[in-house]
């Protein structure tokens, strides 16, 4: 027989049940596509869900089983000897639902985590200045930002993070790890790192305000120019690139080294526009395909550097949007790729803010492909010319004169003719 207390708990649960329904409806009817960890597909907002998805939802005939979730909550309130935060129960259930998919890029974030996540696309935040990703089922440093506390502390692309202060990294939720790495300015955070076959070691890093300069460039010699793009998460990175390209052309640049090393990705529309500078108008730069085989094509808008001799520098920190650019330039033989294999992230996420300060959902929605139809997820893009950076050089203060990848790029671009 059902106790009075249990009945009361069921009554208490009704508002939570309705909240879940509202959240599901919000997830269904709104959202913004993300590529990598930032906005993508030109901020496209979904006003309705695909008809195929509606059919799938209608075909779920055993939804009554979710009553067990509500029953579990009632049991916890009835039996647990301790304080219960009802919102924490709800957040925990939502996190568990997302994590059960086994996809490290599909994550429910609570309100604080969601705010921290959004900061990464706003140009400045307090942290250590290192991009995190998943590689070989481990939370890994994709790349430390140039001049960041992470770089100064000696963190390297490929370092595996196993602990943040006292928090042990036991799952593949990069956003949860990032939220712990971020913090107040001037406050240190200790990361426990595994590098290659080494024993774990600790690195203490003092958090600073991280400001990203997305585009830098200069004339190297004679008619050779150099442009580095550190991120595509700047909403104006394409315009900044065009401005820098024109500036260097006005100074006599006729050949270009494009450096995408350590660039973790960003806005899809920005990387498509940048790639368009080297690809004929109307040609495919990339396309995405979702679970219902719906295909969205991003075409080149054309540009003023088509046919310009080009070398592209990449490494294991070149991910997502960087790989969109690299893959397109490779497929159209627009330049020579030099460095090491890229990161290998060929999937697209959608970011969905939830109402009532309930945070947001980041969910994998599709795969993206190079113009020739290759999905590089898990494999990355192999360079035309492989150049490794020896460990003894990697641990030294950066100097172009001893950077073998840069020196090889300079050698190759010198030999290219207009």
Rounded-to-integer distance, Cα 36 and Cα 323, Å:
11
Clarify whether 320 is annotated catalytic: yes
Q: Which string of b and e fits 247-278 if b means at least 16 CB within 10 Å?
A: ebbeeebebbbbbbbbbbbbbbbbbbbbbbbb
Two tokens, residue 148: 């960041």
Q: ∠ CA 288-293-299 to the nearest 5 degrees?
A: 30
Going from the C-alpha of 72 to that of each of 17, 37, 94, 266, the distances in angstroms are 13, 34, 14, 40
Give me the catalytic one of 320, 322, 362, 403: 320
Angle between helices 174-181 and 111-119 (to 10 degrees): 80
Q: Please tell me the distance from the alpha carbon of residue 336 to that of residue 312, in angstroms, as a whole number.
A: 6
Contact (Cβ atoms closer than 8 angstroms) between residue 180 and residue 110 = no
**Which DSSP letter does residue 402 get?**
G
345 counts as catalytic? yes
**Backbone angle region of 296, left / alpha / beta, with phi > 0 → left and psi within -120 to 50 → alpha:** beta
Q: Which residues are CB-contacts of 178 (< 8 A; sequence separation ≥ 6)? A: 116, 117, 120, 127, 132
**Catalytic annotation, pick one of 95, 156, 244, 345:** 345
List 223, 259, 331, 403, catalytic entry = 331
Residues labelled catalytic: 320, 331, 345
């Amino acid at each position: 027989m059902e106790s009075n207390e249990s009945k009361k708990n069921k009554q208490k649960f009704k508002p939570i049940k309705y909240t879940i329904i509202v959240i599901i409806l919000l997830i269904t009817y709104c959202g913004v596509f993300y590529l990598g960890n930032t906005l993508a597909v030109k901020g496209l907002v979904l006003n309705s869900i695909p008809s195929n998805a509606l059919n799938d939802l209608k075909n779920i005939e055993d939804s009554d089983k979710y009553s067990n979730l509500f029953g579990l909550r009632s049991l916890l309130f009835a039996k647990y000897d301790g304080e219960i935060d009802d919102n924490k129960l709800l957040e925990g259930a939502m996190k568990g639902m997302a994590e059960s998919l086994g996809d490290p890029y599909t994550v429910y974030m609570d309100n604080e985590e969601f705010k921290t996540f959004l900061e990464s696309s706003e140009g400045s935040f307090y942290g250590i200045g290192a991009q995190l990703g998943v590689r070989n089922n481990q939370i890994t440093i994709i790349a430390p930002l140039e001049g960041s506390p992470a770089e100064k502390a000696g963190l390297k692309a490929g370092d595996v993070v196993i602990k943040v202060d006292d928090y042990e990294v036991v799952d593949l939720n990069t956003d949860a790890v990032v939220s712990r790495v971020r913090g107040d300015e001037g406050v240190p955070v200790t990361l426990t790192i595994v590098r290659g076959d080494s024993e774990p070691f600790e690195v203490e890093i003092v958090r600073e305000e991280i400001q990203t300069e997305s585009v830098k460039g200069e004339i190297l010699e004679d008619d050779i120019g150099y442009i580095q793009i550190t991120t595509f998460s700047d909403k104006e990175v394409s315009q900044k690139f065009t401005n820098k390209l024109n500036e260097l052309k006005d100074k006599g640049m006729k050949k270009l080294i494009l450096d995408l090393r350590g660039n973790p990705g960003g806005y899809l529309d920005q990387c498509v526009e940048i790639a368009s500078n080297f690809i004929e108008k109307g040609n495919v730069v990339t396309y995405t395909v979702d679970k219902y085989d719906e295909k969205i094509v991003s075409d080149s808008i054309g540009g003023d550097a088509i046919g310009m001799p080009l070398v592209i520098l990449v490494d294991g920190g070149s991910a997502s949007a960087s790989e969109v650019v690299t893959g397109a330039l490779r497929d159209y033989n627009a330049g020579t790729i030099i460095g090491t294999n890229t990161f290998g992230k060929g999937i697209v996420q959608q970011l969905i803010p939830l109402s009532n300060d309930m945070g947001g959902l980041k969910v994998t929605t599709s795969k993206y492909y190079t113009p020739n139809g290759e999905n590089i997820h898990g494999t990355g893009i192999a360079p035309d010319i492989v150049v490794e950076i020896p460990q003894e050089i990697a641990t030294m203060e950066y100097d172009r004169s001893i950077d073998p990848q840069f020196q090889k790029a300079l050698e190759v671009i010198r030999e290219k003719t207009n």
